[in-house]
Amino acid sequence: MNESDSTPRIGQIVLTKKGRDTGQYSVVIQQLNERFVLIADGDKRKFDRAKRKNISHLHLYDYVSPEVQSSILETGRVTNGKLRYAISKFVNECINDEKKGD
């Protein structure tokens, strides 16, 4: 795996692989350093109380929400509604498509 694949991007959808929130989808809202990011889902994990997560405990999807990314880059924050929308859009478009292919 090359470096660009393992570097999370703002607005990227991730799936938690370890910890209390295993199996939860979240959005990367900030990169803290090369090992940690802040994630939030707009529901249980609001933007203001983002969770610090080790990147190795996350499955990074090759999907970045343009709405979330532009909002954070322009204003430094994003609404919880936008986070929820980004996750549900991703799950409906990408995950359900994978399941249909089975």
- Distance (Å) of CA 21 to CA 11, 44, 58, 94: 19, 10, 11, 21
Contacts of 7 (CB under 8 A, 6+ apart): 31
Domain count across the chain: 1
Domain CATH code at residue 36: 2.30.30.30
Closest CA to 28 of 75, 78, 81: 78
Residue 80, pLDDT above cutoff 80: yes
Q: 18-62: per-residue pLDDT in tens?
A: 999 999 999 999 999 999 999 999 999 999 999 999 999 999 999
Owning domain of residue 95: 3-100
pLDDT band at 97 (very low <50, low <70, confident <90, very high): confident
